[in-house]
Amino acid sequence: LRASDSGKLKINFNLFRAGEYKSALEPFFRDDMSDAAKTANLEWLKDLWLSASRSLLTGRRQLDLDTLNDYIDNYDRYLAANNNSAADTALNTGLIDHLLTRPQAREYIADLTGTAAEDNYDFAQINWRDYSQQIEKSYQHPPTSARIAIIIARGEIVPGRQPDSRIGAESLSRLLRKARNAPGIKAVVLRLNSGGGSMTASEIIRQEVLQLKESGKPVVVSMGRLAASGAYWISADADEIWAEPTTLTGSIGVFGAWPTFEESLAEIGIHNDGVSTHPAIGNRSLTRPLQPRQARALQLNVNRGYRRFLEIVAGGRRLSLIEVENLAGGRVFSGSRAKDLGLVDHLGSLNDAVSSAAARVGLNRDDAVYLQNEINNANLLRELLNTRLHINNSLLARFFPEPCASLAGKLQEQKKVFFNLSDPQNLYVHSLLDSFTE
């Protein structure tokens, strides 16, 4: 939904934010990206590209970064120089080593594995599903009673109990309490993959992290692809924070949103009116315009929430408020950059985080187990209902060609993120990066 679209639909978006670079809601009041958002986003995009290009160039001795960048910027020239063949262009530039047909590729792999020709060049292989199941079996049966608990949390951060595809404040809090009260659990690794969400829900979870620490059990956060805004709110007080070099994190900022539909309803002849003993009562109705006093109160709440966010980060990361203010404002950082700035302690994988947590309590990495909420009928029903979006996206793919279906799917995801948030204070610590970093 763009600013121009909201005007056509007669929706008035009342938006409040703290942080110059907190651009999550720009699609709701702009038709383009602000200069501040462009500057901030380009910084982390460059970091991600640097990491990706380094990985790509590993083992490509005949290819350097300057050539790779030139290839990308002038692909048409490279293509013309190779008889308009994309395959020959990739080969001659050094991006690939061989051009083979499918039978030739099988023969090549068979030769690499020492398979004889009389075996019809069939070679040892494993189906990817079988391989993934083998991976998932890790951390299932620790050899000792003392354990490291691994808790996986992904999706929007929202109040209450939620399925595994979201981070419910009550659901995750119960797991953290379970880890705290279990004598055999000696430390917790919290794996976060979230762009944020409800500020209230994030604070409820953070309090449970503090309770865990006070009980003497170390808490180590492992950041996945994305651990920004509300996810960083939760992470700030951890004993250690681990991130991947390409993790997107930070986004220290707060926003509030209050859409009103009085003009939309008026178009179809529906109006709302009434009286109250106090002018402020009833003003926060979705069917009436937001009054200046209420708007000011909402902005003050956002400002207070932002100040609280800064204080949490400063206390958890042992930084001054001034230092945090210079890193905040809604700026997003790559994991590598966040480490340089002191927002992250170490770069590494989930396994690295587990090893570090184990070392803190004198255990081995193998002494770890995934801790999950029990599956009951209510949780199963929530999970089934949550699959509706994926069904809708598959239907879009059937009836609309690419790239229309892909774009429609992303818009559907963006709508889901915005309208599924339900903070009691109407305050959100969300980067809204979830749908656009796939």
The structure tokens listed for 389 are 């979006």
Of 42, 41, 37, 2, the residue nearest 19 (C-alpha): 37
Residue 419 sits at φ, ψ, to 5 deg, of: -85, -15
Residue 226 sits at φ, ψ, to 5 deg, of: -145, 125
The structure tokens listed for 203 are 């604070």
What is residue 125's DSSP assignment? Answer: -
Beta bridge partners of 16: 256
388-405 burial string, b = 16+ CB within 10 Å, else e? ebeeebeebeeeeeeeeb
Catalytic member of 23, 171, 202, 229: 229
Q: Is the Cβ–Cβ distance between 21 and 325 less than 8 Å?
A: no
Sheet containing 167-168, strands listed edge to edge, beginning at the edge strand earlier in sequence? 12-18, 254-260, 428-430, 196-198, 157-158, 167-168
| Spatial CB neighbours of 384, under 8 Å, sequence gap ≥ 6 | none
In the residue annotation, 229 being an active-site residue is answered as yes
Residue with tokens 């300057």, as numbered in its chain: 66
In the residue annotation, 217 being an active-site residue is answered as no
Q: How far apart are the first and last CA of the chain?
A: 20
Residue with tokens 């990491």, as numbered in its chain: 51
Of 206, 194, 188, the residue nearest 150 (C-alpha): 188
Cβ-based neighbour number of residue 127 at 10 Å: 8
The structure tokens listed for 237 are 């007080």
For 274-298, give the DSSP string: ---SSTTTTTT-TTSPPPHHHHHHH
Catalytic residues: 22, 229
